[in-house]
Structure 1
Amino acid sequence: MADKRTSKTFGLLDIGTSKTVAAVIVAEQRPGSAEPVLKLAGLGMQRSKGVKAGVLTNLDDAESIVRSVIGHAERTAGVSVGNYTVSIAAGRLASTHCTARIDVESGHVTHEDMARLMSAGESYAQRDGRTLLHLNRLACELDGAAGVRDPIGFAARRLAAGLHAVTADEAPLRNLLVLIDRCYAECDGLVATPYASALAVTTPEERQFGVTCIDFGAGTTTLAMFSEGMLAGVDVVPVGGQHITYDIARTLQTPLSEAERIKTLYGTLLNAQSDEHESIAHPVAGEDDDASYETTKARLTEIIRPRVQQLLGLVGERIALNPASRFAGEKVVLTGGASQLLGLSEYVAHEFGRPVRLGRPNDLVGLNASLSGPQMATISGLATIAARGRAEWSPPYGRKVLTQGYLGRVGSWLKRGF
């Protein structure tokens, strides 16, 4: 057992379109180590219900799944966690860039000055009903001179900083908090899914030199861009691997479960002469179970490729429109369950004209090898973020809405309304 004085236990929750995962993690701080050692104590995972493209569509269905995975994770770990750090891809996640400026009254930059600066950026980001998820500095200027990473203690009369904020629509976040409360759990904080996934599969060197991480999920494809080691931009495209499954099912007139099986076992973007002659047997929806039809691997590729091309077109547009793309370098890292489609890395490299690699998260100690891989990138990144503490995923100066209990939030809404 880990020493309670040097370890902490926390919960993680990832509610995706295809699967819902809950994990109980033990972070053990060892002497001489800067980062804690993360161990998986319990894991619960089931196919999602009541979720579409990351958005809750049926609270009752989603509640039954979340209750089940949390219960399984806590029973396996032998502890009751209660508080969970939760990933979020809904709410039209978007980046906001701004510059905040303040006068330094004392002549030397203090923590209070930085608090005022960040508070100004927080107010700017939360316009038009948007909710702030993440806020970080990109660059600082002291009396017009740039290049200072940490201005605390420097002499200056005027302090300015370029800020990056990740915001989302408020309504989907409220619904997610309601769901978690209905499961008798509490939300420690919300983490943008693209940030968590990217942190799990990119290296510190890649983030320092500039990198774009594309997470191909089932219902959404998310983007995270880094420059000089800092998160500089995020975006979400509401198209994912599940749409490829729908295309296969519609074209071959086969059940969705069978289309998913065909995609997983035979789906590819690579061309081979033998594909014209390699047959794939499949049932047709609505006909007798004994009836079997055939298609070829080449035909399957013809079904898959247009959807992938459309998806990459949307991704390319979002990258081009994001101001962070100018600083994020050329490197692209792919992750997510749908990124395992054979030939996808080569196809993306050809379409974007950039170096591309498939990213796999570092395996958590105690995680079965069969469950590790790109499909677990978000939960792995959540573990890293939660272990680092509250300031990693929540702006350090406010935003109490996510730290109150459900009744406290309802009370606040009633006070504001009346």
Structure 2
Amino acid sequence: MARREERSLLVGLDVGTSKCVAVVGQVTPDGRVEVVGSGVHASRGMNRGDVVNIEQTTQAIKRAVEQAELMANCSAKSVYVGISGTHIRSLNSTGVAPVRAGSVSERDVDSVMDAARAIAIPADQKILHVIPQEFVVDGREGIQDPVGMHGVRLEAKVHIVTGSISAAQNIYKCVESCGLKIDKLILQHLASSYSTLLPDERDLGVCMVDIGGGTSDIAVFKGGTIRHTAVLPIAGNQVTNDISVAFRTPGPHAEELKVKYGVALPQYAAGHEEIEVKGVGDQPPRRLSRLTLAEVIKPRYEELFHFIRKELQRADWFDVIAGGIVLTGGSAQMPGVVELAEEVFDLPVRLGAPHNVDGLKDITRDPAYATAVGLLLYGRQSRPQPAPTPMQGVGYWLQRAGDWFKGSF
């Protein structure tokens, strides 16, 4: 079988606390992304978004990418990589610049964006994203694209995301040790929003929460653009640890119990249903009620949702998310989590799975792959599309005519 054309391929790499996910996507002629390969490997070298073991993280990346390459029948050269962690900081900033020629040009937009990003940040941080929220021309607000508008004063309101330089360098080192080049480091919750949020939700106001293994990532959208981001160090691994301590069972078995039998609300567990729990060391296994497991899980998810609510209230965004909450990520799939979140937030809550992508159904419909698929969509949007040459255009229409002829006769 011939290898796929490398130029049309995108590779997303989600290096998480519990697993490393690589997804290969192919850009179709109509501009959509088709997922053609995926690979997953357990991650032991990450903790809450930070690399804590270079060798283990490198091996996890290598194994996941190799699986994805094998499935997609391609060879990856570069990847879009997600970054998160408690070192992530964000703030809103404003820049002002004069309009030079009476009407706003691309050069003026570049100038005002440079002015907006000229802020003081700690020496150990670097700017990851400068995302425009809106432009103001001579006091006229709410402008998304000011190019061509007449005025003398241009103002830009932007959302700036910064991250630890050392954390980014460690990720670069791990990826480059696998013989890969990083196209761009992308904030994980920004990537997840590309694959899970709908345009009307972004306009009305919505909070997306990506619950992973080590961190829960928050992104608030309003008026079609991102307004606030935050990272909380509470996620699925804390639930696993609670089960391990409460049931006195090894961590890997606690994770297995959580995935296989875990529910976030006791009413989802039958009171008479029992599960086998392995003991620590030489201790014999025991049988415990599944209802007891639910009573261990529920308080941790409640705590997480209360922390998220406090963070939104602290940032003055809780009252403007009329679109509600969108939960995504592997730890959001547990039965009862959405219903528990609705009780805590008193807002509509839905589970966010990837959309606007084609290909492998087990990837494109699974919230655990929201970040990896979002990285592909981000890459598709940011990668410049080469204009077709006249010969390519003629060939395209000849092919279309041939297809029509075959279909008709």
Give the TM bin, normalised by the shorter chain: 0.7 to 0.9
Consecutive unaligned residues of structure 1, counting only runs of 5 or more, are 31-35, 392-418
Query: Is the Cα–Cα contact under 8 Å of residues 125 and 132 in structure 1 kept in the other structure?
Result: no
Aligned length: 383
The DSSP-based 3-state class of the residue aligned with 2:118 is helix
1:104 corresponds in structure 2 to 99
**CA distance in structure 2 between the partners assigned to 1:223 and 1:343 by the alignment:** 20
1:202 to 193, 197, 212: 197
1:27 corresponds in structure 2 to 27
1:160 corresponds in structure 2 to 155
Provide the identity percentage: 28
**CA distance in structure 2 between the partners assigned to 1:208 and 1:192 by the alignment:** 21
Note the aligned Cα RMSD (angstroms).
2.3
2:292 corresponds in structure 1 to 299
1:371-391 per-residue CA deviation (whole Å, 9 max, x = no partner) reads 841111111111111111259
- Residue 254 of structure 1 deviates from its aligned partner by 0.9
| Corresponding position: 1:214 with 2:209 | yes
1:67 corresponds in structure 2 to 62
Q: Which piece of structure 1 moves more, 292-301 or 186-195? A: 292-301
- Residue 284 of structure 1 deviates from its aligned partner by 0.8
Map of 1:299-338 to 2, 5 A cutoff?
Answer: 299-325=292-318, 327-338=320-331
Map of 1:128-167 to 2, 5 A cutoff?
Answer: 128-167=123-162
2:245 corresponds in structure 1 to 250
2:404 corresponds in structure 1 to none
Note closer, same or farther for the CA distance 1:128–1:89 as it changes in structure 2 (3 Å cut).
same
1:200-246 per-residue CA deviation (whole Å, 9 max, x = no partner) reads 11111111211111111111111111112112221111111111011
2:16 corresponds in structure 1 to 16
Note closer, same or farther for the CA distance 1:279–1:101 as it changes in structure 2 (3 Å cut).
same
**CA distance in structure 1 between the partners assigned to 2:262 and 2:5 by the alignment:** 47
**CA distance in structure 1 between the partners assigned to 2:66 and 2:3 by the alignment:** 22
Query: Is the Cα–Cα contact under 8 Å of residues 363 and 372 in structure 1 kept in the other structure?
Result: no
Map of 1:89-100 to 2, 5 A cutoff?
Answer: 89-90=84-85, 92-100=87-95
1:308-331 per-residue CA deviation (whole Å, 9 max, x = no partner) reads 122112212222223555544341
1:351 corresponds in structure 2 to 344
- Residue 96 of structure 1 deviates from its aligned partner by 1.0
The DSSP-based 3-state class of the residue aligned with 1:242 is helix
| Corresponding position: 1:230 with 2:225 | yes
Which letter maps to 1:122? Answer: R
**CA distance in structure 1 between the partners assigned to 2:308 and 2:180 by the alignment:** 35
Map of 1:269-418 to 2, 5 A cutoff?
Answer: 269-272=264-267, 275-288=270-283, 291-325=284-318, 327-362=320-355, 364-369=357-362, 372-390=365-383
| Corresponding position: 1:192 with 2:187 | yes
Which letter maps to 1:302? Answer: E
TM-score (norm 1): 0.85
1:120 corresponds in structure 2 to 115
- Residue 108 of structure 1 deviates from its aligned partner by 1.6
- Residue 4 of structure 1 deviates from its aligned partner by 5.8
- Residue 366 of structure 1 deviates from its aligned partner by 3.5
1:248-301 per-residue CA deviation (whole Å, 9 max, x = no partner) reads 01111112222112212222232339743322221211125xx32122122112
- Residue 117 of structure 1 deviates from its aligned partner by 0.6
- Residue 173 of structure 1 deviates from its aligned partner by 0.6
Query: Is the Cα–Cα contact under 8 Å of residues 52 and 219 in structure 1 kept in the other structure?
Result: yes
Consecutive unaligned residues of structure 2, counting only runs of 5 or more, are 385-409
